[in-house]
Structure formats: structure tokens, C-alpha cells
Amino acid sequence: MQPVLIVRSRLHRPPVVTDYVVRSELSERLDAGSHLPLTLVLAPTGYGKTLLVSHWLSRRVPAAAWLSLTREESDPLRFVAYLVAAVRTVVPDACQETLRLLEQGQPSLAVLGALLSNDLEALNEPLLVVLDDYQAIDSADTHALLDGLLAHPPSALRLIIVTRRAPPLSLATLGVRGLLCELRGRLLEFNAQQSVDLIERCAGRCLSDAEKLLAQQCAEGWPVGARLVGMALRHGGRLDDRASALDGGLQWVDAYLREDVLTQQPDEIRRGLLVSAVVSRCCVELYAALVGEDVGTETSDLRAEAFVRVILGGDVPYQVIDDEGNWFRYHRLFRGFLLRQLPRFCSPEEIAQLHWRAATWCEARGELAEAVRHARAAGGDTAAGCLLTRHADELLGRHRRHELAGCLRALSLDTVEQTPALLLLKAWLMHHQGRHIETAPVLDRIDALLGTNDAASVVPANDAPGLAGSLIALRSVQAYLSGQAEAATAGAERALALLPADCQHARVLAQSVLAAGRQMSGDLSGAREFLRSALVNASGPVNACQAPLAATLCFIEWMAADLSALQWTANQAFDLNDMGSGCAGN
């Protein structure tokens, strides 16, 4: 083979920056693994892997060999030539048989691996060898050669692999044999104090307590993110407490992420990064929906599975956010950068289409808060409001009301105040919060809107019965609380006559008020009979239909001072509660 020209600068340990944040807990882990054949330091870009190992080595007396890899070393012969050159920076006469074999031509990899193992075994003292940027190696032959070396590791070899993605080596086997030390992912994140320390050093000033909290949220434990926040603050940036993000000084953030991350990616990956930035978290299926990819078709330049595999390879700053490893999100600073770049590559219409696709996907899976956010980004508050009202019944369930409240807060006040269906949702929330005095003016506002000549434009015809019936049901509650039993009962009956079958939430309330009104009028047997019939015929989810009706029956028995009936009914309600995995009452 042609002699390999060794670039000697790649055999030097990188210098440690003066503002390096010492991480003693990680140094202790490296110390603990220093007697093992392999230590793996694995994390996405920007986690300070190289600096960590370089700083650790600078505190050690024994010399260590260092090799910064490039894609060219994927060739197994070049890889071995560079590895030997690195070893010889510490032991000048080492690996002579391996060098002689390389000089003779094209040796078989089996023979080359065996000779290299023997040469390393012949070393008199243990030797640390660092292989930095191992993710650059994409040759199965090179991986196999190194795996073979580690299968029966030379007694003197202490190998440290620094990489953005897990190498295809027999890591599980090495771990089971007690031959592997690992420093992965979250372990390399900064804690709150470390983030603040680096940000203050880079910013050149101390931060207030409020700024410290915002800075930590902005950096999210990402070491290079902390440095970027500090540099932005030094150059005029400030922390925005509305979004826990930077306002101003972003040219430093954008320049680094553009040069060191985005432009390093192929065109199809770059496009995928920009597209997927519109969602706060992503998975294969969601990305496929964003790019319009159908199962079994080739509708995009890069299939969703392949794109996500590349992202999880570690070349961009991300975090896995579920135990199964299916969902990930970009770091806050990186996603903000991508969103700022998106309008340079996509038209407003294309961006709106991405949000529509995200909204449709999230809505189909019941992720309604996210769906509303994307619908609002695509079509404004009106579109978001329509999506919200489509799912009113499920959002009014006990365990999703906080989600509904958040969605309403996200819409403009004018939109809510001018839309009867949204005002009705607001009234429902007030009702469930016991704010009955405040509910009445909201109901009056709905009446006023429905009484305008333009009522058809604010309430679609197919929604009118449900809206009117729900409004009357809530009015019947007001009448009951005012002691107007006859008005409450009449209102509840009118509501039930209007309400479609799918308006379960309002129908259950109307049924409860009707029964309570009858009891208030002295018709206890009629109230009981009505509720028991309603319980038998209830067809919706147990915790949304039967359980609230059973709770109402308990209330009626309590008001009638029939304690034995109350106890029996309460037992039935608890049974229903267990069946529905929810709480009785609405």
C-alpha cells in the first residue's frame, strides 16, 4: 500500500480552554475506568466530551496517546497506521511488526489485527489511547478490527473512545465482562450551578437570581449552550422571561450553530431539521406526517426512519424524552435557531402547511393542546377555536380541564369574547370551578351574541342545538342555585330536548339538575326514578356518565336525610368509580 502521510497535529491532545468548568464527578468516573480496556464517552455534539477527556488527562502523570479521527480513517489500513502513529508518540519503538506489515502491501485484516494485538501486548506499561470523534468511522471492516482487538484486549491497552453515536462494537459483552466504563448522554449535562458558572465567565459579569434561573432554562444543561448564552449576554443580549430565551446577541448563537451544526449536514438532513423544528417534539410518525410521507411510499428525499436515525446519531443537539427512545426534541437554543432560519427556506404558505399537518396529526391522537397551538400558527385564532370546540366534551372531563383552560388562554381575548362556542367553554370551566356568580354574565354575553342578526356566522347550523342546549343546561343550574325548582326543572327538560346524543357532558348536567329540581319540589320518588333510569340507559364512558349521575343520586339522598339509601348509593358510586378509573361527579 502507499505510505500513509500522518498529519502530526491530529496526534496532539487538544488544549483546555481557560474558562473550563471542572467536573470532578466525571473525572472520578474516568479514574474508576482507567484500569479497564475500554471507556466510552458518548453524547451528541456540544457536550464537552473532548474537553472533559483532555482536562482529565492533563491532571494525570502517565502520558497518553491521542488520535483525532476523520472519515478518511474509515479505511482499516489508514486507521491502523494512524493508531500506531499515536501509540509511538508515547512509546517511540512500539508496534514495529505492525508497521512492517503495513509497509509490505495489502495485508489481510485478520493478520493485521493479530499483529497489532501482539505489539500492544508487548508494551511494558499500561498505555491510554484516546480515539476522538470515532463517529467519523463508517467502515464495518474497521469496526470489526477494533472489536476483535477488544474481544481479547491486550493487557497494556486502555482505550478511550469519544463519540457522538454508539459504535457498533460488542459493548454489551464488554459490559457484562466488567471491561467497560461508560459516560453517556444525560450524565454529561451541566447541572444548574455549572451552567451559571460558565455563563457568568463568558458574559464577564455576575447574574441576578432571576437571570440565573432564565439562563439555566435557556442553556438546558447543554455545555456549549451555556457558552453561547454567556457570549450572547456579553454582546448585548438579554434574557426574555416570557420565553426563557435570548433577546438580542443572537448573532453569536446563530453563527456558531450555522457553521458548526447546520452547514455540516447534507441538504436533505438540513431540510428535515428545518421542517421538524415547527414541532416542540418529534418522532418517526410525526416527521412522516410533516413531510407528507405515506407508509410504503417514497414521497420525500429522505425517509422518516432514516432522518430520525441520523438525528439520533448525535450530530445535532437533541434530547430523548421517553423511556423507549421514540420521542426526541431539539435543545431550546438550536430549535430557536432553526425557526429563525425556516423563513429563509420556506414560504409562509409552506410553513402554514407544516403547522396544518402537525395539527391534524396531533388532533387525531388526542394531543389537543399541541393541535390547537399548530392550528393557531397555521390559521389564526379562529381555526384554533374551531378545533377546540370540536373536542369540547372530552376536554371538559375532570382530568383535562386544565388543558382546556390553557388552550383558551392561548387564544386572544377578542376571539373568545366574540365566539359563542368558546365563551360556552369558558362558562363550563367557571361552572366546574364553582364560580357560579361569574358564570351568569358569560351566559348573558352568549345570549347577546346569539341574538344578533349575524348569529348564523358565529354559530354553524349543525352546532346550534348543542350550543343552545348547553346554554340552557347551565342556566338551569343558575335557577337551581337560586332556589327556583320549577324553573330549574323546566330548563333541564328543554336542554335535554335540544341536546344531541354526543353532547354527553351537558346532557349529564341537565339530567342531574332535573332530578335535583324534582327533589327540591318534593318529588323525591320521581327524582330517584329518573336518575335510576338515566343510569341504566347511560351509554357513554362510566366516569363521564354513570359516575356523575350516581353522585347526584347520593346528593339527593343526603338532602332527603335518607342515610341508609345514601350509604347504598354511595357504595354503588364507588364501584362505578373503580370501573371508570375516574372520579365520581362532574
Residue 581 has pLDDT above 50, yes or no: no
For the four alpha carbons of 85, 87, 91 and 96, in that order, the dihedral sign comes to: negative
Residue at 335: amino acid letter: R
Q: What is the pLDDT of residues 351-375, one digit of tens each?
A: 999 999 999 999 999 999 999 999 9
Residue 128 has pLDDT above 80, yes or no: yes
Residue 157 has pLDDT above 50, yes or no: yes
pLDDT confidence band for 64 (50 / 70 / 90): very high
Residue 463 has pLDDT above 70, yes or no: no
Mean pLDDT on 482-494: 94
HEC profile for 208-240?
CHHHHHHHHHHHCCCHHHHHHHHHHHHCCCEEE
Q: What is the pLDDT of residues 161-170, one digit of tens each?
A: 999 999 999 9
CB 183 within 8 A of CB 30: yes
Task: Give alpha helix (H) positions in 122-234.
Answer: 140-151, 171-176, 192-203, 209-219, 223-234
pLDDT confidence band for 583 (50 / 70 / 90): very low
Residue 114 has pLDDT above 70, yes or no: yes
pTM of the model: 0.80
pLDDT at 328: 94
pLDDT confidence band for 519 (50 / 70 / 90): very high
Q: Cα(473)–Cα(246) distance, rounded to whole angstroms?
A: 48
Task: Give alpha helix (H) positions in 391-463.
Answer: 392-395, 401-410, 413-417, 420-432, 436-450, 455-458
Residue 190 has pLDDT above 80, yes or no: yes
pLDDT at 251: 78
Q: What is the pLDDT of residues 82-92, one digit of tens each?
A: 999 999 999 99
Task: Please state, in angstroms and as integers, the Cα–Cα distance from residue 197 to each residue in 138, 203, 219, 249, following that order.
Answer: 37, 10, 12, 19
> Residue 26 CB: number of other CB atoms within 10 A?
18
CA 579 to chain CA centroid, nearest Å: 32
pLDDT at 241: 55
For 314: left if phi > 0, alpha if psi spans -120 to 50, otherwise beta; the answer is left
Q: Cα(37)–Cα(346) distance, rounded to whole angstroms?
A: 49
What contacts 414, CB < 8 A, 6 or more positions away?
Answer: none
Residue 122 has pLDDT above 80, yes or no: yes
Q: Cα(361)–Cα(438) distance, rounded to whole angstroms?
A: 36
pLDDT at 424: 94
The kind and range of the H/E element at 55 are helix 49-58
Q: Cα(573)–Cα(553) distance, rounded to whole angstroms?
A: 9
pLDDT at 487: 94
Q: What is the pLDDT of residues 232-286, one digit of tens each?
A: 888 877 776 544 456 655 777 888 899 888 988 899 999 999 999 999 999 999 9
For 138: left if phi > 0, alpha if psi spans -120 to 50, otherwise beta; the answer is alpha
Task: Please state, in angstroms and as integers, the Cα–Cα distance from residue 432 to each residue in 87, 94, 399, 498, 506, following that order.
Answer: 72, 79, 12, 22, 12
pLDDT at 298: 44
Residue 378 has pLDDT above 50, yes or no: yes
Q: What is the pLDDT of residues 295-332, one digit of tens each?
A: 334 444 568 899 998 888 888 999 888 888 899 999 98
What contacts 174, CB < 8 A, 6 or more positions away?
Answer: 37, 38, 150, 180
pLDDT confidence band for 105 (50 / 70 / 90): confident
pLDDT confidence band for 573 (50 / 70 / 90): low
pLDDT at 557: 85
pLDDT at 235: 81
Q: Cα(485)–Cα(513) distance, rounded to whole angstroms?
A: 9
The kind and range of the H/E element at 163 are strand 157-163
Q: Cα(577)–Cα(182) distance, rounded to whole angstroms?
A: 47
Mean pLDDT on 141-168: 95
Q: Cα(59)–Cα(242) distance, rounded to whole angstroms?
A: 43
Q: Which residue's C-alpha cell is 350550543?
A: 467
Mean pLDDT on 473-477: 94
